[in-house]
Structure 1
Amino acid sequence: MLNQKILKTNLWFYKHKKISTLALIVLILLIGLIIFKLFSNVEVTINSSWFGVIGAVIGALVGGMVTLFASVYVHNNQLKAKSAVHRKNTIYKPLYDELMENKILLDNENPYPRYISFREAPQTLIGHPQYTVWERIKKDSRYLQVPTFLTSKFECFYESINNYRKSLDKAANDVQIQINEILQNEYQTECTIQNLGESVINKIMVKNEKIMDSYVDMYALNPRIEISQEDVKQLNEKIVLQCWELESVKELYKNKNKWMASQGDLVETLKDLILYINLKYEKQSGKYY
């Protein structure tokens, strides 16, 4: 099967097929010219009556071999094309579509998700990424058709997700402790919400300015106190500033970027595979015509 470097090289040649073909023809002509020059000075004495016989035999042999090789080549190429297109439609395209859908969600709606699904399930109120296609592929025969380098990339991808989830739990716990320390120091109170860190970690990571607004309005502080809007604004700023000094928050930020880098690498690889099959086997140029 293709590895990624060969894939990139082949994809380049198929994108520039005319130039590649022309270069190959020129190379063959140059080699033929060199061979002709090498043998042009060699004197060979053969009875002229044999030229016709030898020519006929050579012509028949060459013609038969060319016909045989051409038929075998066409048959094998048809099988390869059918197999490649099948892999594209049942493996590469579903994976690419799902990864792109999750990329859009993570870039816009939910940058630091609390939930990540690996099986089909109802979507939550705030959308969360669902990686289900690869899980299904691993359970059936399609897995045997996946290139080794792509399997390795998915293993690294899943490892990056696991690292993100671990760092998210640690950061959420540290953030909750930090917020209550700030509330205790500033207002001699604390937040009674049990999963406060999980609820606000997303806002803290994107430096949202309304972290505690709803909790103050809900009287989720014990003891209850009245805080002005201006004080709430300053409280939010202090929470963001101090929480971003936490090592666990920095680690979460780093692991989120590694996750996105791994996902981006997979998207690019799958795109190359799809384009390669389109160009080589389906003759799709990508142009409007």
Structure 2
Amino acid sequence: MKITTKLALVKHWQLYKIRYIIAMIFLLILISVYVQSTNWTKTNTDVTFQLFKDPGFTAIFGSLVGAIIGGSMSIFAAIYVYKKQASTKSMVEKKNEIYKPLYNNMIETLEILNQNPYPSFFAFRKSQQTIIPHPQFYAWIEIKGDSRRLLIPNYLVKEMDKFEILIEEYLTMRPSAAASIQTKINAVLQENYNSSNRIANLGDTILGYVATRNIEAVTERIFILNDTIDITSEQKIEATIEIIRECSTLPEVFAIIKTYSNLNDQLNELITIFEDIIDLINKKYENHSKLY
């Protein structure tokens, strides 16, 4: 079962468990009353039954049971209210100090990846953005470095660590994938046009465009910036399509595309998890709290 499915079930139980418990208690009371009434009807000569027919005993017994039930209810109510207030305060603090920062950082990362897929680097701290935005994976790094890490459930720690590992794998694969693209481009240019690329970091520059099959962007960076190749616009497009097709079959490129896809899937799953957690806290604690 996926984490998001388990979390949805937990969320439903946390929101509606009181209703289930009340329904179960009510059902048990009905069953108990039915059983007792049946037994007393059959054994109306029993001593216990005769005692309950005595008005004096019934009054004393009723007062005693009422006092016990009333006192117990008062104690349980006081304990419940105290625990509820403490739990509410704790959960709202966790939401504001842990889950919201993580959620906001994940949303920010997703938006940047939509603008700049296959970025050249990830920053692991909050810093000033570059002209082309790059993702900054900082919230988890900060949280797991202090005492807040102890307040996060293990399943969520594993999911966050998994995402961090995917980022590191992606960054490790990128140089070799970029180098293989550059080599393939030079091979195609040399074979077909007796030319080569003059941009030193072309493979790194167009890796994302090759992976997303952005023909226009790849054409511009290979041919428009290389005036030694004198061919028509149609021929440039055809050459670009061939380059993208051949680059896509390179093992290094195929591997980084798969890793980047896994990274995006994990990012979207984390966003869903944090949305569910925050929504649960809002509904179960914050919106019904007298403390806030």
After TM superposition, the score normalised by the length of structure 1 is: 0.87
Amino acid at match of 1:182: V
2:273 maps to which residue? 269
- Deviation of 1:24 after TM superposition, in Å, equals 4.7
Q: Deviations over 1:86-115 (max 9, x none)?
A: 0101111111111112112212x1111111
1:232 maps to which residue? 236
| Unaligned residue ranges in structure 2 (runs of 5+) | 41-45
Partner of 1:239, secondary structure, is: helix
CA distance in 2, matches of 1:21, 1:142: 30
2:213 aligned with 1:207 = yes
2:91 aligned with 1:84 = yes
1:283 maps to which residue? 287
1:97 maps to which residue? 104
CA distance in 2, matches of 1:234, 1:254: 26
After TM superposition, the score normalised by the length of structure 2 is: 0.86
- Deviation of 1:27 after TM superposition, in Å, equals 3.5
Larger proportion of helix = 2
2:167 maps to which residue? 161
1:110 maps to which residue? 116
Partner of 1:126, secondary structure, is: coil
Q: Deviations over 1:206-256 (max 9, x none)?
A: 111231434544447xxx443333332222111111111212211111111
Q: Deviations over 1:82-141 (max 9, x none)?
A: 00000101111111111112112212x111111111112221211111111111111222
Amino acid at match of 1:255: T
| Unaligned residue ranges in structure 1 (runs of 5+) | 285-289
2:69 aligned with 1:65 = no
Among 13, 36, 39, the residue aligned to 1:39:
36
CA distance in 2, matches of 1:55, 1:5: 49
Query: Is the CA contact 1:10–1:276 (under 8 Å) kept in the aligned structure 2?
Result: no
Indicate how the Cα distance of structure 1 residues 114 and 228 shifts in structure 2: closer, same or farther if over 3 A, else same.
same
Partner of 2:130, secondary structure, is: coil
CA distance in 1, matches of 2:226, 2:65: 97
- Deviation of 1:193 after TM superposition, in Å, equals 2.1
CA distance in 2, matches of 1:205, 1:176: 14
2:242 aligned with 1:245 = no
Query: Is the CA contact 2:177–2:253 (under 8 Å) kept in the aligned structure 1?
Result: yes
1:287 maps to which residue? none
Identity %: 31
Give the number of equivalent residue pairs.
Answer: 275
Query: Is the CA contact 2:4–2:269 (under 8 Å) kept in the aligned structure 1?
Result: no
CA distance in 1, matches of 2:5, 2:187: 53
Amino acid at match of 1:230: E
Indicate how the Cα distance of structure 1 residues 84 and 22 shifts in structure 2: closer, same or farther if over 3 A, else same.
closer
- Deviation of 1:161 after TM superposition, in Å, equals 1.2
Residues 171-210 of structure 1 mapped to structure 2, 5 A cutoff = 171-210=177-216
